[in-house]
Structure 1
Amino acid sequence: MSTQAVVPCLEFVKSVGMGEAEDKNFVYSPGEEVRAQANKWAEKATNGLIESVLPPESITNKTKILLANALYFKGIWKKEFDESSAKDSKFYLLDGSFVEAPFMTTYVDQIVHSFSYFKGLRLLYKVTDDTKELLMYIFLPHKKDGLWDLVKKVASDSEFLTKHVCKLSRYVSVRRFMIPKFKISIGFEASKVLKEGGLDLPFSKGDDAGLHGQLL
Structure 2
Amino acid sequence: MQTNRRDLLARSGALATAALAGCLDDGGTPTTSDAGGSDTPTVTGTETQSDPSTIDEERLAELAAGNAAFALDLHAHLAGQERGNLFISPYSISAALAMTYAGARGETREQMGATLKYTLGGEVHSGFGDLRAALAARETTVDPRSDETVDAFQLDIANALWGREDYAFAEGYLDFLDTHYDAGLRRADFAGDPDGERERINEWVAEATEGRIDELLPGGSIATQTVLVLTNAIYFMASWYQQFDPADTEDDTFTALDGTDSTVPFMHQHLRTNYAAVDGAEAIELPYVGQDVSMVFLLPDEGEFAAFEQTLDADRLFGIFAELSDAAGDLAVPKFAFETEVQLRDALAALGMPLPFRSDADFGGMVENGDGPFIDDVYHDAFLTIDEDGTEAAAATAVVMDESAPPEWGELRLDRPFLFCIRDRPTDALLFLGRVIDAGGAQETQ
* Common fold by TM > 0.5: yes
Mapped partners of 1:53, 1:171: distance in 2: 41
Alignment of 1:14-29 (within 5 A): 14=178, 17-29=181-193
One-letter identity of the residue aligned with 2:307: D
Query: How does 1:62-81 map onto structure 2 within 5 Å?
Result: 62-81=225-244
Q: CA deviation at 1:75?
A: 2.9
Residue pairs, 1:24-173, within 5 angstroms: 24-29=188-193, 31-83=194-246, 85-115=248-278, 117-127=280-290, 133-143=292-302, 145-155=303-313, 159-173=315-329
Structure 1 segments (4+ residues) deviating >6 Å = none
Of 100-109 and 3-12, deviating more is 3-12
Amino acid at match of 2:276: H
AA aligned to 1:164 is: I
Q: Identify if the C-alpha distance between structure 1 residues 165 and 16 changes in structure 2 by more than 3 Å, giving closer, same or farther.
A: closer
**Structure 2: which 5+ runs fail to align?**
1-163, 364-370, 375-403, 408-446
* Alpha-carbon separation, structure 1, partners of 2:192 and 2:221: 15
> Would you tell me which structure has more strand in proportion to its own residues?
2
Structure number with larger C-alpha Rg: 2
TM-aligned CA deviation for residue 151 of structure 1: 2.0
Q: Number of aligned pairs? A: 198
Cα distance change, pair 122–184 in 1 and its aligned pair in 2 (3 A): farther
Q: List per-residue Cα deviations over 1:69-111 (Å, max 9, x = no partner).
A: 1122223221122345444433322212233334333233343
Q: The residue matched to 1:43 in structure 2 has which SS?
A: helix
Q: CA RMSD in A?
A: 3.3
Contact 2:275 2:326 in 1 (8 A): yes
Q: How many Å apart are 1:11 and its aligned residue? A: 5.9
**TM-score of the aligned structures, taking structure 1 as reference length:** 0.72
Aligned AA (2:270): Y
**Sequence identity percentage:** 23
Out of 67-76 and 84-93, give the one that drifted further: 84-93
Q: Contact conserved, 2:270 with 2:328, CA < 8 A, in 1?
A: no
Partner of 1:177: 332
Structure 1: give runs of 5+ residues left out of the alignment. 208-216
**CA–CA distance in 2 between the matches of 1:198 and 1:5?**
15
From the superposition, tell whether residues 105 and 60 of structure 1 become closer, same or farther in structure 2 (CA, over 3 Å). same
Task: Give the match for residue 8 of structure 2.
Answer: none
Deviation at 1:18, TM superposition (A): 1.3
Alpha-carbon displacement from aligned partner over 1:4-50 (angstroms, at most 9, x marks no partner): 68593666655653124212232212x22111111110011112221
TM value normalised by structure 2: 0.38
Q: Deviations over 1:116-160 (max 9, x none)?
A: 542211111222xxxx722222111231x31112124423xx643
Whole-Å separation in 2 of the counterparts to 1:10 and 1:104:
48
Query: Which secondary structure state, in structure 2, belongs to the residue aligned with residue 44 of structure 1?
Result: helix
